[in-house]
Chain A
C-alpha cells in the first residue's frame, strides 16, 4: 500500500528524518510512536504532501508521489489540532469537504448522529470547544470510505465516551479494508488498536514489531512498559 524509501528531511541544521524506509501492507492498523520531535508528524506531512522531503521517494499503490495531488482522494486525514475557517458554521465546513471530495457515497449524517454534532450544526466554528472541533475533524476524516486513514493523536481533547466511539469507528473502517496509520502518544490506545508499532527515535526507526510480539518478547506488563524495557534492554531472545 505505502512504500517509503530513504526519506530525508532537514529543517535548517536539524535533521527531522534521517533516511527512513519501510513498507505498510494494506488492511492493517499501524501505529507510529516515539518521543516528541522524533519525526512522526513530519513523515505524515510528507505523505500528505504538506511538507516537501529533501530526498527519497514515497509510493502509494505502486505509484510514485511527486507534485500531483489526485492520490489524496484515497486518504482521510485527522490532524492533531483541527482548526477550521472560523466564520463558517459546522454545517458549511462539512458541506465544503463533501463538495471537494465529490464522491458518491458519504457517511456524514451517521457520524453527526454518532458524535452528537447536530446541536452545533449552525454554530460558527470559532464558538466551538476543543473537543467539538475534534469531533468535526472526525466527521471530515471519516466522511468517505478511504483506502488509507492517517490519524494524528485522534482522541486528544475527546471525552471518554466519544473516544470510545472513535476507537470503534477506527476498527470498523479497518475491518472494511481501510489501512490505518495512527500517531499516538497514548500507549494504551496503540495497544488496543494497532497491529504493528513503528517506533521513531531521532528521525530514524528504532524498531518495528507487532504489538503482541513486542509485549511477549520483552516480558513487559503492557505496551508502555514493554517499550520502556525495550529501550533499556533490547529484545530478550
Chain B
C-alpha cells in the first residue's frame, strides 16, 4: 500500500512549480559561484553558506504549506482502507525526496561537469544538503501536525528556522565572550551537536581541512575528534535528528484528530 500511495504523492509534489524554481535556483547559484570565484574552494564555501540557510528555509516553508494544504486530501485517504503509518511515510517521503532531488540535480550537475572537485567533498556537501532537507521537512511536519492553526504552525516553524540558523550562532558567540576564561570545548561541542545546521557546516569544513574556513566551533571539532571521527560523529547526529523528527511526526500523525 505504501508504494501505491507514494507513487501518487510524489507525482503530486513533483509537478509543483516551486520545486522547479528551487532546483533552478541551486543550478544558477552554483554556476554563478563557479564562474565568479577565483578558486573552487572559495566557491564551495560560499555555496555551503547559502545551502545551510536556503535548504532549511525552503523545506520549512514548503513543508508547512504542503502539510496544511493536504489536510483534506489526508482526510480522504484516511477514509479509505489505509493505515495511518503508511500514509505518513508516503507523504513524508513524497515531499522530502523531490526536494532532495531538486537540490542534488541543481547543485550536483554544474559541480560535476564544470569542476574537478574532490568527489569526497562533493559527497559530503550532498549529504549535508539532503540531511538538512529531511530534518527541516520533519520539523515542518511536526509543527503543522501540532498546531491546527496555520498561522501558528508556520510561525513556530519559521521561528525554529530563525533560531537555528541565525540566533543560535549569536548565542554561541555571546557564550564564548562571557565565559572565555573557562575551558569551553565540551560545552561548545554539545551546543553545536544540538544544531543540525551547525553540524552540516562543520561536517563539510572538516572534510575541507582548512582551519581558516572552519570557524570557531569547526576548529574545536577538528581538535577534539580529528577529521574523520568528527565527520562520522556529525553524520551520526544528523541521522539521529532525521529519525527523531520522523518518529515524532509519525506519532503525532497516528494520534491526530482530523
Contacts and interface: CB of A to CB of B under 8 A. Distances in A.
A81 interface: yes
Contacts of B81: 69-73, 100-101
B1 interface: yes
B146 interface: no
Q: Which applies to chain B's interface (DSSP): helix, strand, loop or mixed?
A: helix
B257 A85 contact: no
B256 to A, nearest CB: 8
A52 B257 contact: yes
Q: Which applies to chain A's interface (DSSP): helix, strand, loop or mixed?
A: mixed
Nearest to B79: A77
B8 A84 contact: no
Given A85-B12, A87-B15, A92-B11, A100 B4 contact: yes
B79 A50 contact: yes
Contacts of A101: 80-81
A201 B71 CA distance: 28
- Is the interface on chain A under 10, 10 to 19, 20 to 34, or 35 or more residues? 20 to 34
B75 to A, nearest CB: 6
Nearest to A11: B257
Contact of A49 (B12, B73, B78): B78
A186 interface: no
A81 B84 CA distance: 21
A79 interface: yes
Contact of A100 (B1, B71, B75, B257): B1
A84 B5 CA distance: 14
Nearest to B77: A100
A82 B78 CA distance: 13
Contacts of B1: 100
B76 interface: yes
A45 B258 contact: yes
A11 B257 CA distance: 10
A124 B17 CA distance: 14
Interface in A47-102: 48-52, 69-73, 75, 77, 79, 81-88, 92, 96-97, 99-101
B79 A100 contact: no
B115 interface: no
Contacts of B209: none
Interface string B1-38: 10011001101110110000000000000000000000
Select the residue from A69, A97, A101 with max chain B CB neighbours within 10 A: A69
A43 B16 CA distance: 35
A140 interface: yes
Nearest to A75: B79
Contacts of B73: 83-85
A80 B13 CA distance: 25
Contacts of B5: 100
Contacts of A81: 72
Interface in A3-24: 11
Given A50-B78, A96-B8, A87 B72 contact: no
B258 A85 contact: no
B258 A51 contact: yes
Contacts of B80: 72, 97, 100-101
B49 interface: no
Contacts of A100: 1, 4-5, 77, 80-82
A86 B18 CA distance: 13
A46 B73 CA distance: 17
B257 to A, nearest CB: 4
B46 interface: no
Contacts of A97: 80
Interface of A: 11, 45, 48-52, 69-73, 75, 77, 79, 81-88, 92, 96-97, 99-101, 124, 140
19 contacts: A11-B257, A49-B78, A50-B78, A50-B258, A51-B258, A52-B257, A71-B81, A77-B76, A79-B79, A83-B72, A84-B72, A84-B73, A87-B11, A88-B8, A96-B8, A99-B4, A100-B81, A101-B80, A140-B76
Given A69-B83, A87-B12, 13 more contacts: A49-B79, A50-B78, A50-B258, A72-B79, A77-B76, A82-B76, A84-B73, A86-B69, A87-B15, A96-B4, A100-B1, A100-B5, A101-B80
Counting from the closest, the 9 A-B pairs by CB-CB distance are: A83-B72, A87-B15, A77-B79, A85-B12, A50-B258, A51-B257, A73-B81, A72-B81, A96-B8
